[in-house]
Structure 1
């Protein structure tokens, strides 16, 4: 395939994609949803002012281009939702990451990342074709692999975000637990201690405590709000903290002692993990020492004697 043929194929695909997109946007090509069919009859009953409506958020970062691609993206998202890729588990993972996005928004981002991988693979295949190194099988494998890789890489980044947030929460937990223990020891209630922590502290754990405090102010019992917080995280230290706090609130045991014990437990766990990490790194340092430094030391020690023997001969 020469350069002229490759350019003709590329621009032909571009023209075909544009014509197909225009055809899909035609009204007769799209099924009218039930909500759009009954909207003219219900419009007079909607007394909400248009000034109070919240602006719709964009799914993609392309701005005006999204108005053209939105129907296609929404149809694809609804088609994917029929296969049920674990929306409940995804919602829990988004809560663990501290993200305000819904599962549908995250799936849209995954599709966007997959589309970026697809475009990059197609551009690379086009440049290989213009250079005379086009291979159909390799091009198809690279396009499919890049598309699937972009889709899965977004999920991997979500896992990384969850891990980093959990580390920050564990690092903040001992100090916040001690602060709550001081507040409770000074005579404040559990809700008052949470309020003081939320007002004086910043961080991921303080935000979670703010959600617990907001739930209690909305009328939910403190034990139930704490159990919801425990369900949003999988950290053993925080789960034990919630269980101990719930038991202390329900049975009237001294809450300050429970908080201090939880903080001490987390600090001991952090010290143990630090020592284990140091032990693993100490073993890892043996590899460059044995295979790098030690052979070089032997060479420096043996080479002068070998050189002297050669000179003697």
Structure 2
């Protein structure tokens, strides 16, 4: 009997709710019309699909971190921001980060690494003073790590620029002597070669095409690369442009000069090699030789005096 009453009450309640919904809810026709209108609006749009195709980190996390990086960059002194900006330019970028993103990375590491260090020290039952000391050291390490990596990239990029400069100048010289203008020689260089120095010349070409004077673009390139040989080359080109000297002659002289400098640097490294080899020879090779040569004599002496 109770089961029948419960079943009857459920059916009655279901019928009442269905009637209320069918009476006061929107009809199916307007719903279909609105859905069709929405589909017609979004049918030709590819930006929605492109936005949804992006990873979650790029759609959600990146805007949040960008806002936090902007706030942190505003709190950072202008001298530090300028220094970071110059280092990023000299490195040719750091993972696609700008100044704000790089400072945000430093701030994130400066918070995350001390927290992890303090948590591990707490689990190890370390004293409070050691936890605080390790956290302070972790802050310094966290801030230093991005700058160390950035400086390493700058040094590697400078070495690559210095190594490629003679070959780049040879190609520019051949192109100019073949009848191309300087802008055409830069375009040919971008097609035939790759590397950090070629990227810098491609940027110079883009700036010239955008209306930047050639002298200014070359001067900024010399400052941006911060390599003495490149600065000397750009200064020579600027002076040749000011004095009306043939660029082909300047390129020929600079190419020969850069090759001579590369030869001198190779000879300098060859002269340093024996000095660098002296320490491992003294520490590892000479003791082994002494053991092999004097070992039997020492054994005989011990046997002779032992009797």
> Which TM-score band (shorter chain)?
0.7 to 0.9
| CA positional deviation for 1:259 | 1.4
8 A Cα contact 2:218 2:238, kept in partner: yes
For residues 70 and 188 of structure 1, the distance between their equivalents in structure 2, rounded to whole angstroms, comes to: 45
What is the aligned partner in structure 1 of residue 101 from structure 2? 105
Q: Deviations over 1:64-115 (max 9, x none)?
A: 456667665544443x23x334322321211111115332121112112223
**Residues 222 and 93 (structure 1 numbering): CA distance in 2 closer, same or farther, change over 3 Å?**
same
Greater RCO structure (CA 8 Å; 6+ sep): 1
**Larger fraction in helix:** 2
- The TM-score, its normalising length taken from structure 1, stands at 0.72
- 1:91 aligns with one of 74, 82, 85: 85
- 1:224 aligns with one of 216, 220, 223: 216
What is the aligned partner in structure 1 of residue 123 from structure 2? 127
For residues 301 and 218 of structure 1, the distance between their equivalents in structure 2, rounded to whole angstroms, comes to: 74
State how many pairs are aligned.
Answer: 254
Question: Are 2:278 and 1:300 aligned?
Answer: no
RMSD, matched Cα: 2.8
What is the aligned partner in structure 1 of residue 228 from structure 2? 236
Matched ranges for 1:76-87 at <5 A: 76-78=72-74, 80-81=75-76, 83-87=77-81
**Residues 112 and 271 (structure 1 numbering): CA distance in 2 closer, same or farther, change over 3 Å?**
farther
8 A Cα contact 1:113 1:154, kept in partner: no
| CA positional deviation for 1:154 | 0.6
Matched ranges for 1:109-258 at <5 A: 109-129=105-125, 134-258=126-250
Structure 2: tracts of 5 or more residues without a match: 1-44, 52-56
Structure 1 stretch displaced more, 296-305 or 155-164: 296-305
| CA positional deviation for 1:165 | 0.8
Structure 1: tracts of 5 or more residues without a match: 1-48, 56-60
